[in-house]
């Protein structure tokens, strides 16, 4: 008996950004009112960010996740009832529990399939995609919804200009389907807990009170130094697993955190800048949402087409990192 290998293909993409857009100039004015000095030039030079989107009061990660999910389902020609796995990558869940994925499931009006969250901060979508791929390959799911959704504006310290200018809110989603044609061709995940302290929110809830610091803290220089090295190494790992060269990558979509990190990674792989998908200028660092957001933009504007090879890369708190190589 011949057994056909199962593979995972992306059937549709979607994204969502809150309507409230803050340009650098808007944020500079807001910070100045609190005595914090910065400038559009300072932000652009160091990060490449020109704007970000923030949610309004009462809007949660699940709300953005559902919007992105509906767009992805429409693009895939798929009904919510067809989904048999939901994974949400988020570091800003709606509540302690249940999972944001369970809330998304309810809002989509479906039930019965397994749902759970993945928490790997800015690497979360790459982690979630890898888990979903494994479950589809083993027959545990046929059609999966993988979402990255964040409301980082809720955990920013607006007295710290080194972090509050970097982050935004948003969501991105993909619908994955089992196929006999390869799609996700290689994945690579890593973490190094020795670097927990360089990017964290060192607070928790206990006895009805917040213990520790509930706001984001980051050692930017340490993150930069680690990120460039591990992203290059992970990229080469997934390429070697498939016997491919960097010049065979049509599009590089790294985590949209800092244009300098992204450009440095492309240079190390000797990829021309026109193969780098950049959306960090438009929505800042949206953590686990940034890769699927950028992917959706590049799919919908026609850059990513059938036959293209795309390299997704995440790096974030933990310290976590990883890559996914995909044939479209």
Selecting among 53, 255, 258, 283, the annotated active-site residue is: 255
**Known catalytic residue: 255?**
yes
C-alpha–C-alpha distance, residues 210 and 92, integer Å: 15
Selecting among 53, 71, 122, 283, the annotated active-site residue is: 122
**Known catalytic residue: 60?**
no
**Tokens 């989603």 -> residue:** 173
Which residue, 235, 153, 160, is CA-closest to 190? 235
Selecting among 24, 60, 258, 285, the annotated active-site residue is: 285
Catalytic positions are: 122, 255, 285
């Amino acid at each position: 008996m011949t057994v056909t290998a199962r593979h995972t293909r992306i059937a549709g993409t979607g994204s969502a950004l809150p309507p409230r857009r803050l340009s650098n100039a808007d944020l500079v004015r807001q910070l100045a009112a609190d005595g914090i000095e910065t400038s559009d030039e300072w932000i652009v030079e160091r990060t490449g960010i020109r704007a970000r989107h923030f949610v309004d009061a009462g809007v949660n990660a699940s709300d953005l996740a559902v919007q992105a999910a509906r767009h992805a389902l429409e693009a895939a020609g798929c009904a919510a009832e067809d989904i048999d796995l939901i994974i949400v990558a988020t570091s800003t869940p709606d509540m302690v529990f249940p999972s944001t994925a369970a809330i998304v499931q309810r809002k989509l009006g479906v039930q019965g399939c397994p749902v759970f969250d993945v928490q790997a901060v800015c690497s979360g979508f790459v982690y979630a995609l890898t888990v979903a791929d494994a479950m589809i390959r083993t027959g545990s799911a046929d059609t999966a919804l993988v979402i990255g959704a964040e409301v980082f504006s809720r955990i920013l310290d607006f007295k710290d200009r080194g972090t509050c200018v970097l982050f935004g809110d948003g969501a991105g989603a993909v619908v994955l389907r089992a196929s006999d044609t390869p799609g996700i061709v290689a994945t690579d995940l890593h973490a190094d807990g020795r670097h927990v302290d360089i990017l964290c929110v060192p607070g928790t809830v206990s006895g009805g009170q917040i213990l520790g610091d509930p706001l984001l803290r980051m050692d930017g220089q340490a993150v930069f130094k680690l990120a460039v090295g591990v992203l290059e190494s992970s990229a080469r790992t997934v390429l070697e697993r498939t016997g491919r060269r960097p010049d065979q990558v049509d599009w590089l979509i790294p985590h949209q955190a800092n244009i300098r990190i992204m450009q440095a990674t492309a240079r190390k792989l000797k990829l021309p800048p026109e193969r780098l998908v950049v959306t960090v200028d438009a929505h800042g660092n949206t953590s686990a949402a940034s890769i699927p957001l950028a992917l959706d933009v590049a799919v919908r504007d026609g850059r990513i087409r059938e036959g293209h090879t795309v390299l997704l890369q995440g790096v974030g708190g933990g310290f976590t990192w990883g890559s996914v190589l995909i044939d479209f």
